[in-house]
């Protein structure tokens, strides 16, 4: 009986192989598995067998039945897939015709590079607990000069550097307005609006009465920072500057402080970073010095604290100013600062975000 089963299965396989139409396969199926099919006959014949034979033959017949069922399903499935694929092949589209290869592909968007860097730095300082402040572009003498320990006859007040709305030399009690020359004005506004200890940054546009060329602009961007508390030290200042710059440049940055004179800080520093291009060996970017001047900073001058209503005997602090445009130009290798305010979309589209 077992041989008969094996023979039956082999017969089935060879007949299935030759078939390719769904109907023929279904016919074959009923030939073998139908009520009057070959397998059913064998199973029916079991009745006349001895218990031993039943025990042997029963499972074997069922196994063959299942195998046949599986093979048929598999074949039917294959035929269906082939049919669908054939149909899909007929409808095949050009999958290389993506937006990116189209001449009309102009739908992109992006944020201004100055904003990108500004947001990045804002986030670094937010993570270190600094608030972010803002203030007016049109300022008065008090906020831009006086409160920052820049006295009346200081050269910084001269007409060459500052855009004035009123003649600075006329004696009058009226407010004299000007375009802020630095974001340090926010130091004063920040101090007046809060109680120490505090820390904040203030990014924004500043204005200088200066002829424009590839590296000079009359409108540019600065970011001011200030931290006031008890026992703030130069060591703390260096710590924050190093952390900031390592975050900005995404690597450890070597910095050095050297004396720099700014009326609103004392001691005042110029902070240099080791040239990232030549790693300090000297190149055209750092003018062979190995260091690049990056930002002025220092300990807030006692007179400035006083202007902000803070007792310099109780509190002290540090402040710094960062030229954002310089950082933007360094990051993206932009060779002309004038592009930043040009609203030229050939420039903008280089900063697309998708």
Partner 1 sequence: MLISTEWISEFVELPNVSSKDLGVRFTLGTAEVEEVIESGAYLSQIKIAEIVSIEKHPEADKLNLVTFNFGGSENARVVCGASNVKVGLKTHYAPIGTTLPIGFTLEPKKIRGILSEGMLCSDEELGLADSSEGIVELPADSKLGMTLGEYLNEKSDILLDVDNKSLTHRPDLWGHYGIAREFSALYEKELKNPFDEKFVSKTEAFFTNEAAPITPIIEGETSCIAYWGLSVSNVTVSESPAWMQRRLTAVGLRPINSIVDISNYVMTELGMPNHIFDRDKIEESKIVIKKAGEEVFTTLDEEERNLKPMDTIISDGKKPLVIAGIMGGSSSGVTEKTTNLFLEVANWKPAEVRSTSTRLGLRTDSSQRFEKTLDSQLTYRSLLRIVELIKEICPEAKVIGKPVYCGEDLSAFSPLEIKITPSHICKVLGKELEKSRILSIFKSLDFKVEEVGEVLKVIVPSYRSTKDLECDADLIEEIGRIIGYDNITPEGPMLSVTPVRLTTAQRIHRSIRSFLSMNSESYEVMTYPLVGEKVLKKADWPSTGGLRILNSISKDHDRMRDSLIPTLLEAAAKNTKNFDNYRCFEIGRVYPDFDKEKSVLAVMFYSKESSPFLELTNTMQRLSDNLSLPADIVDKHAKFKSLVVDEDWSGLHPFEFKNIRIMGKPWGSLFSIHPLLLKKNKIKGHLSMALLDLSSFESKPMKDKTKYSPLAKFPEAIFDYTLDVSSETDVSKLLEALSKIKIKEIRHNKIVDVYEHASDRKSVTLRTTFFNPEKTLEGDFIKESEALIIKTLESAGFLLKQG
Number of residues that bind partner 1 (CB under 8 A): 84
Considering the rule CB under 8 A, would residue 323 count as an interface residue with partner 1? no
Considering the rule CB under 8 A, would residue 21 count as an interface residue with partner 1? no
Token pair recorded at residue 6: 């094996």
- Residues within window 29-88 making contact with partner 1, judged by CB under 8 A: none
- Kindly write out the interface string for residues 264-303 of this chain, putting x where it contacts partner 1 by CB under 8 A and - elsewhere: --xxxxx----------------------------x-xx-
- Residues within window 328-347 making contact with partner 1, judged by CB under 8 A: 340-346
Structural contact between residues 269 and 299, judged by C-beta atoms closer than 8 angstroms:
no
Query: What is the C-alpha to C-alpha distance for residues 72 and 37, in angstroms, rounded to an integer?
Result: 15
Structural contact between residues 187 and 319, judged by C-beta atoms closer than 8 angstroms:
yes
Q: How far is the CB of 178 from partner 1 (least distance, A)?
A: 9
Q: How far is the CB of 239 from partner 1 (least distance, A)?
A: 4
Query: What is the C-alpha to C-alpha distance for residues 166 and 177, in angstroms, rounded to an integer?
Result: 6
- Residues within window 300-319 making contact with partner 1, judged by CB under 8 A: 301-302, 316
Is the dihedral angle over the CA atoms 310, 298, 210, 159 positive or is it negative? Answer: positive
CA distances to 124, 129, 196, 299, 315 from 310, rounded to whole Å, are 27, 21, 8, 14, 7
- Residues within window 115-144 making contact with partner 1, judged by CB under 8 A: 115, 119, 122, 126, 129-132, 134, 136-138
Q: Which is nearer to partner 1, 74 or 134 (CB)?
A: 134
Q: Which is nearer to partner 1, 55 or 352 (CB)?
A: 352
Q: Which is nearer to partner 1, 19 or 132 (CB)?
A: 132
Query: What is the C-alpha to C-alpha distance for residues 46 and 222, in angstroms, rounded to an integer?
Result: 96
Considering the rule CB under 8 A, would residue 197 count as an interface residue with partner 1? yes
334: left (phi over 0), alpha (psi -120 to 50) or beta: beta
Considering the rule CB under 8 A, would residue 258 count as an interface residue with partner 1? yes
Token pair recorded at residue 160: 């060459």
């Amino acid at each position: 009986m077992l041989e008969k089963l094996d023979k039956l299965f082999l017969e089935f396989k060879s007949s299935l192989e030759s078939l390719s139409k769904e109907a023929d396969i279904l016919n074959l199926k009923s030939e073998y598995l139908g009520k009057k099919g070959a397998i059913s006959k064998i199973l029916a014949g079991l009745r006349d067998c001895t218990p031993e034979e039943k025990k042997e033959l029963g499972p074997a017949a069922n196994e063959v039945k299942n195998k046949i069922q599986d093979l048929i399903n598999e074949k039917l499935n294959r035929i269906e897939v082939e049919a669908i694929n054939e149909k899909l092949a007929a409808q095949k589209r050009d999958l290389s015709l993506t937006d990116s290869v189209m001449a009309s592909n102009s739908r992109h968007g992006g944020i201004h590079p100055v904003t990108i860097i500004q947001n990045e730095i804002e986030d670094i300082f937010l993570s270190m607990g600094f608030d972010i402040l803002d203030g007016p572009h049109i300022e008065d003498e008090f906020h831009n000069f006086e409160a920052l320990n820049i006295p009346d006859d200081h050269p910084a007040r001269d007409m060459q550097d500052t855009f004035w709305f009123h003649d600075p030399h006329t004696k009058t009690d009226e407010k004299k307005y000007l375009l802020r020359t630095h974001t340090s004005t926010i130091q004063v506004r920040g101090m007046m609006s809060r109680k120490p200890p505090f820390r904040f940054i203030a990014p924004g546009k500043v204005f200088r009465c200066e002829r424009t060329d590839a590296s000079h602009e009359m409108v540019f961007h600065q970011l001011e920072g200030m931290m006031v508390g008890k026992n703030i030290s130069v060591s703390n200042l260096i710590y924050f500057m190093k952390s900031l710059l390592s975050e900005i440049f995404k690597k450890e940055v070597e910095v050095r402080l050297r004396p720099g004179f700014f009326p609103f800080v004392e001691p005042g520093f110029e902070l240099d970073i080791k040239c990232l291009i030549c790693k300090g060996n000297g190149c055209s970017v750092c003018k062979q010095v190995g260091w690049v001047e990056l930002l002025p900073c220092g300990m807030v001058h006692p007179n400035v604290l006083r202007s902000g209503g803070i007792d310099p005997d109780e509190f002290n602090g540090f402040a710094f100013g960062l030229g954002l445009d310089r950082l933007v130009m360094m990051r993206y290798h932009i060779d002309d600062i004038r592009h930043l305010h040009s609203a030229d979309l050939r420039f903008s589209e280089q900063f697309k975000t998708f």
